[in-house]
A and B are shown apart, each in its own frame.
Chain A
Amino acid sequence: MTRDTSPFRYLLVQALDLARAQLLLFVVVSAGLAGVIWKIFGDDVGRAFDAADMVGALLAGTLLIAILMAAGGVAGTDIKQGYYRALFSKPMAPWWFYLQRWLLGGLVVLTIPVWLGLAFAVAFGKGTGLSAEVFGVVALSYLLIGGAVLLFSTLTSRDWLVAFLLYFLQARLHDAEQIFTAMSRDVPAAVAFALKVLPPFDLVSARAPLPSGGDLAHVLLYGAGMVAAALLLLRFRPLGSGGRA
């Protein structure tokens, strides 16, 4: 038998899975949010805010959940439930399989501003509010949060929960750092150290400009590092390790 050896042969299946679940949900939620705001506030919102503000505000409130939904529970579930045995007895490398799935998840998350923008354009007629900066924020957020989810998914099926707790912890530590700084007091060494080693989630926000310079490099390197670590674990750590044989 001639074999289909294309490394992309399963990509369409993964894309359709994401389209049927996460993408559809994001479209419905985006339209729903615009509809609810329009129903409650009518044209007042349209007059008071421009589309970019609205899209930014809604992204700030929904992006974390959207990323956890798009990236979470993939490798971790397959490993915990034992699905990996059927999947990876076939000629397919786990690291490549999950990298494709992770990248597709990122593409789906990148469409969220589009759905929000379109929904608001239809509801308020003030444009989509889309800009390169919005997509940049979404992409960097996915790299950091989605990268953390991918890394934890090699170790637990509760990857999204661990990533969420890490995000929450880092945010509170960042708040504490700002309070100490505002009070002109030294930031405790433990807090400063934790903020150094934790992912720099605070550097990317839909309510703030895109990071640049050293901050941008920090975000990119940290995110790419987590993704690379996840792929190395998937490549070299046997999937049945840790009592999952």
Chain B
Amino acid sequence: MIRFAQAGKTYRSLVRRREITALAGLDLEIARGEVVGIAGPNGAGKSTLISLLLGFLAPSEGSVTLEGLAPRRYVERHGVGYLTELVNLPGQWRVQDALHRLAILAGVPAAARRGRVADTMARLGIEEHATKKIKQLSKGNLQRVGLGQALLGEFDLVVLDEPTHGLDPVWTARFRDIVVELRRPDRAILIASHNLDELEMLADRVAILDHGRLQRVVGHATEASDASVSWRLVLEGDDDIGAAMPGAVPIAGRPGSWRVLAPRAAMSRQLAALLQSGAVLVECVPEQGRLASAFREAVRQ
């Protein structure tokens, strides 16, 4: 559905002729039915990628197509459910009015419009703010309005830029449910986020950007390299774990707790030996998600 072919964007200042490459040589394809995450540090090129995708910027090199069409042509023909990183709507609009206006633009038929707006407000828990002006909303409520307007049109492409920015933990969890509900075989969902746990839970694949370049794409099939995952082990009854598991480091202030950085297979063998010799396993958890590990590898932090 979406195809970035060697796509890049370089900003050029008019006066000093300075050039800043925000994105370079991006090759990425996203199919219908996929949920794809975009991760990267600040300034990695995530927002530029989204602007190119929606035709708000033109690529300086390469091409971006949606269903074979230029981005603007696709968007103007089909529309995209788009939540911006910073939700920008005229401050004097009231919440219900804003959603009503954007429902009209989204092409929601007149007969269904009132119901669609009401359902959206209920889904996002903003009915009590319906008559408030946009400028009176808290960050979290504004984010929910932004998410609501993105969902009004039931589009085949949904793009969510930092969707849980400003949401409290309850609504962050609710957002995850909403994305799960949004999944459809004919719909592609793109989520740009700093929240790696969130992407790991929701996305089929995550593209990791750094310095304007695609560093790697992490999917269920190609997870972070095994050896990069750090495990926290808590064992009772054996004081010599360090000798039995090369690379195990005691965690300061936590007796019996060890940090192990080792491939799963090797760690399993060593752990089995320890358990056979009488040790009792209390806890064995990855210290960071696979995506976080892959992210650290990709951006070399």
By size class, the interface of chain B is 35 or more
Q: What are 12 sample pairs from A and B whose C-beta atoms fall under 8 A apart? A: A1-B154, A13-B104, A82-B86, A86-B146, A86-B149, A87-B105, A90-B107, A90-B153, A91-B77, A92-B105, A240-B57, A245-B47
Q: Which residues of B contact A2 (CB under 8 A)?
A: 109
Query: A213 in the interface, Cβ–Cβ < 8 Å?
Result: no
Q: Which residues of A contact B54 (CB under 8 A)?
A: 85, 89
Q: How many residues of A contact B (CB 8 A)?
A: 27
A86 touches B84 (CB 8 A): yes
Query: B120 in the interface, Cβ–Cβ < 8 Å?
Result: no
Query: A243 in the interface, Cβ–Cβ < 8 Å?
Result: yes
B56, B82, B88: which has the most chain A beta carbons within 10 Å? B56
**Among listed A4-12, A103-111, A153-161, A218-226, interface-contacting one:** A4-12
A51 to chain B, nearest CB (A): 38
Q: Which residues of A contact B280 (CB under 8 A)?
A: none
Interface residues, chain B, CB within 8 Å of chain A? 11, 47-48, 51, 54-58, 72, 75-82, 84, 86-90, 101-102, 104-110, 112, 146, 149-150, 153-154, 159
Query: A93 in the interface, Cβ–Cβ < 8 Å?
Result: yes
A142 to chain B, nearest CB (A): 24
A82 to chain B, nearest CB (A): 4
A240-B106 contact in complex given A82-B86, A83-B90, C-beta closer than 8 Å:
no
B84 touches A90 (CB 8 A): no
CA distance A10 to B146 in the complex (A): 20
**Residue in contact with A90 in the complex, picked from B47, B106, B109, B146, CB distance below 8 Å:** B106
Q: Which residues of B contact A10 (CB under 8 A)?
A: 101, 104-105
Query: A3 in the interface, Cβ–Cβ < 8 Å?
Result: yes
A5 touches B76 (CB 8 A): no
A5-B84 contact in complex given A89-B75, A92-B76, A243-B11, C-beta closer than 8 Å:
no
CB-CB nearest in chain A for B47: A245
B11 touches A85 (CB 8 A): no
Query: A239 in the interface, Cβ–Cβ < 8 Å?
Result: yes
CA distance A240 to B77 in the complex (A): 19
A91-B56 contact in complex given A4-B107, A240-B51, C-beta closer than 8 Å:
no
CA distance A4 to B87 in the complex (A): 25
Q: Which residues of B contact A83 (CB under 8 A)?
A: 88-90
CA distance A83 to B11 in the complex (A): 22
CA distance A13 to B112 in the complex (A): 17
A85 touches B56 (CB 8 A): yes
CA distance A4 to B111 in the complex (A): 10
